[in-house]
Structure 1
Amino acid sequence: MLDRLKNHIAQKLPFLNNKKLLLATSGGLDSIVMAHLFNELDNPIALAHCNFQLRGLESFGDQNFVQDFAATTNIPLFLTQFDTEAFAKDYKLSTQVAARDLRYNWFYELLDTENYDYILTAHHADDNIETFLINLSRGTGLEGLVGIPEQNDKIIRPLLHFSRAEIANYAKENNIQWREDSSNASDKYLRNKIRHDLVPLLKELNPHFISSFQKTQSYLQESQAMIEDASIMVYQQVVRQEENEIYFDLNQLLKLPNYRSYLYQWLHEFGFTAWDDVYNLVDSQSGKQVFSAEFRLVKDRNSLILSPIDFNAEKEEYLIEKEDQDVKIPLKLSFCKVDDISILTNTTIFVDADKLSFPLVLRKWNEGDSFQPFGMEGKSKKVSKLFKDEKLSLIEKENVWILWSENKIVWLIGLRQDERFRIDNKTQNRLKIQLEE
């Protein structure tokens, strides 16, 4: 097994040579065998053990075992303890997700603070089969069937091509001791049911099931790579990006025979899960939205617009004092007195400074806001009506900032000045307000 591991590293993971490696070590069979194997190689290694305090004295027994193992083999050890259940409760996570987040956050912290290059975990071929079957039973896209990746950023899984049986045989041949996790014997968890009941049956039906499965998964991975390549090519025809917003051209999208598959490929990484709602958005009226935890997808006429959710947008309000000549946040505005005025533009207005009441206020629009459009004395207009006339999308509306003096709009920035602050024959102090690029 050691020779096979050396050959595999040379062929598939050559970048590990001479790197400092941090081995995730639970004390169980897989991680202890991995530690023995890598202790025979030339890499500088260290063990990292997490005590999640989920199994009472048994958890501390695992900790003591790993400490003794590290001392016996002279391998450096990093050790930490977590109150996993409290963390899960505080952040409303399942225990398993909480343990995973705590573990990997700590691993990455060790990489930075202790100058290690990669994290090694002891996932093996049987873990891959179990994950495949779990995802299959719950319903999944192709990405849920391609298996556990051998490399994911700084996380490397060098034993993925070895079976649990091979690992157990190596331990037996080399008199390696390990700790058994009592929770692995319980059929309380879906993974254990699959491990104890389903996988043995599949191996009984086909003695070469693992190698056959690995071939199938290899084909699936190739198919996934092909899909990703095609997705990138089509993406360039359908999508354009403007600052923080991504626009999907529905006219181009609907020419695709399998446009739903492309939408899924492009959007699943943004956390969307209500796929029927996402697909129905294509035929919905403008203004309809679908949300993930951090993003939203909006239908706007002939586009779907993807943007991050701004959780603070409605609360933002900025004051501008009379002495302020330059404003940097949230927009770049300049204020200066002038003797002459030029033509109004979308980015420059001229106002009667004596009609202003300071501090001025910058904020987003609210439903019901109204103003007097420049050139329309005595006539008010709802801001929402202007937005409709200008054919602004929902996201464009939300990006409009308004300059206020007391309770009166001075300027819908980038769109329209208010009539009430215009310069007239009685104006003595002319103020130029400009939106800077």
Structure 2
Amino acid sequence: MDKLSVLHRFIDTIEQYQLLKKGGHVLAGISGGADSVCLLDLLRMIAPKYKLQVSGIHINHGIRGNADQDEMFVRNLTQQWDIRLVVVKVDTPTFARKHRMSLETAARHLRYLHYQRTAKKLACDRVALGHTADDNLETVIHNLVRGAGLRGLCGIPVHRDIFIRPLIKITRKEIRSYLEAKSLKWVEDETNTDVRYTRNLIRLQIIPIMEKINPAVRENVLRTGELLRSEDCFLETLAQKALSRIGKFNSKRVLIDIKRFNSYNLVLKRRIIKLIAPEISSDHVERIVDLITRKCPGSHYIQAGVVVRIRDEGAEITRKVSKSVNGD
């Protein structure tokens, strides 16, 4: 695929999903890897067409041995292209230990947290991320193996809130060909070949087998994800309407009419609980549905500060309020 074809598909995705506003300010997440360098180059190419202001953000997680070299690469690149750059240094290992998270989960949480904070500080209306068709396929496989629900099988959304992913229909191979054609450099993550990491195992061993069955597996998974996402949105709308009929709520507490709750089928019951407490796992959603359905009296402590209290014909769900930093 030539560089013009990549540019045209990038623009097509932006137009199809209305990802950008003319005259807007876009913050691009730049790790220094091939995907983010391609993203930044394409954004600066289309900036005149959309009258865009483009800024960049680099998160130095302090994990990898080459983290400081990656930061310097990004600083040099953005200076060469005259793009404003914000660099945020975080102590991911300490954060992971403190909050009992895996290193990967902690790094992701901190990235999205600082993307949102920086976007607000710079008055950016979009945050562009470099997820590709390969990332989408890896995510679906990973979620399937972990036992995700419908939403997990939808893959990575092209856009959600301020986050956009205009490379989602372009493969990693196409991106590298684009960069090579333009003589652009990037940095390699030395951990990308370590199959002890689940995503690397999926990318290096599982996907090549799937490609032997069908070389168009990336395109098919993306198309299927879009179909599933439309159904997911439909179910979400039904659940929101149902919750408005059966619940009285504020930011920390919801009081549910048990009789009305039990008039809905299991699918909507699960959705209602997930709307009330989106931070809890699927297993805990099932537990709450079961407690309310069977009218189990008393107070039940669930997960992440969620408590269910059941009395007579009412179920009260209280939770700690936390801001979401999830762009998926």
TM-score (norm: length of structure 2): 0.86
For the pair 1:28 / 2:33, whether they are aligned, the reply is: yes
Cα deviation code 1:172-201 (max 9, x no counterpart): 222221111011110011111111111111
Give the equivalent residue in structure 2 for 1:176.
184
Cα deviation code 1:198-244 (max 9, x no counterpart): 11111121022122212211211121122122223333443344785
Answer whether contact 1:285 1:301 (CA < 8 A) is retained.
no
Give the equivalent residue in structure 1 for 2:121.
113
Answer whether contact 1:277 1:290 (CA < 8 A) is retained.
no
For the pair 1:279 / 2:285, whether they are aligned, the reply is: no
Give the equivalent residue in structure 1 for 2:3.
none
Give the equivalent residue in structure 2 for 1:199.
207
Q: 2:59 aligns with which of 50, 73, 85?
A: 50
For the pair 1:230 / 2:241, whether they are aligned, the reply is: no
Identity %: 26
Answer whether contact 1:135 1:145 (CA < 8 A) is retained.
yes
Distance 1:63 1:236, change over 3 A: closer
Q: 1:264 aligns with which of 247, 270, 290?
A: 270
Unpaired segments ≥5 residues, structure 2: 1-5, 322-328
* Structure 1 segments (4+ residues) deviating >4 Å: none
CA distance in 2, matches of 1:307, 1:92: 23
How far has the Cα of 1:250 moved from its partner?
2.3
Q: How many residues in Structure 1 have an aligned counterpart in Structure 2?
A: 307
Higher RCO (Cα < 8 Å, 6 or more apart): 2
Cα deviation code 1:319-339 (max 9, x no counterpart): xxxxxxxxxxxxxxxxxxxxx
Cα deviation code 1:149-192 (max 9, x no counterpart): 22222221111121222212212222221111011110011111
Q: 2:169 aligns with which of 140, 161, 172?
A: 161
Question: What is the letter of the counterpart of residue 280 of structure 1?
Answer: D
Structure possessing the higher radius of gyration over alpha carbons: 1
Distance 1:87 1:244, change over 3 A: closer
DSSP-derived class of the 2:254 partner: strand
CA distance in 1, matches of 2:206, 2:139: 12
For the pair 1:209 / 2:217, whether they are aligned, the reply is: yes
Distance 1:242 1:137, change over 3 A: closer
For the pair 1:252 / 2:252, whether they are aligned, the reply is: no
Question: What is the letter of the counterpart of residue 46 of structure 1?
Answer: S
Give the equivalent residue in structure 2 for 1:93.
101
Answer whether contact 1:295 1:307 (CA < 8 A) is retained.
yes
CA distance in 1, matches of 2:155, 2:273: 20
Farther off after superposition, 197-206 or 237-246: 237-246
How far has the Cα of 1:89 moved from its partner?
2.2
Answer whether contact 1:142 1:224 (CA < 8 A) is retained.
yes
How far has the Cα of 1:24 moved from its partner?
0.7
How far has the Cα of 1:17 moved from its partner?
2.3
How far has the Cα of 1:308 moved from its partner?
3.2
TM-score (norm: length of structure 1): 0.66
**Bigger share in helix:** 2
Give the equivalent residue in structure 2 for 1:8.
13
Give the equivalent residue in structure 2 for 1:303.
314
**Bigger share in strand:** 1
Question: What is the letter of the counterpart of residue 9 of structure 2?
Answer: R
How far has the Cα of 1:28 moved from its partner?
0.4
DSSP-derived class of the 1:147 partner: coil
Distance 1:65 1:15, change over 3 A: closer
DSSP-derived class of the 2:157 partner: coil
Distance 1:272 1:182, change over 3 A: same
- CA RMSD in angstroms comes to 2.1
Give the equivalent residue in structure 2 for 1:425.
none
Give the equivalent residue in structure 2 for 1:102.
110
DSSP-derived class of the 2:239 partner: helix
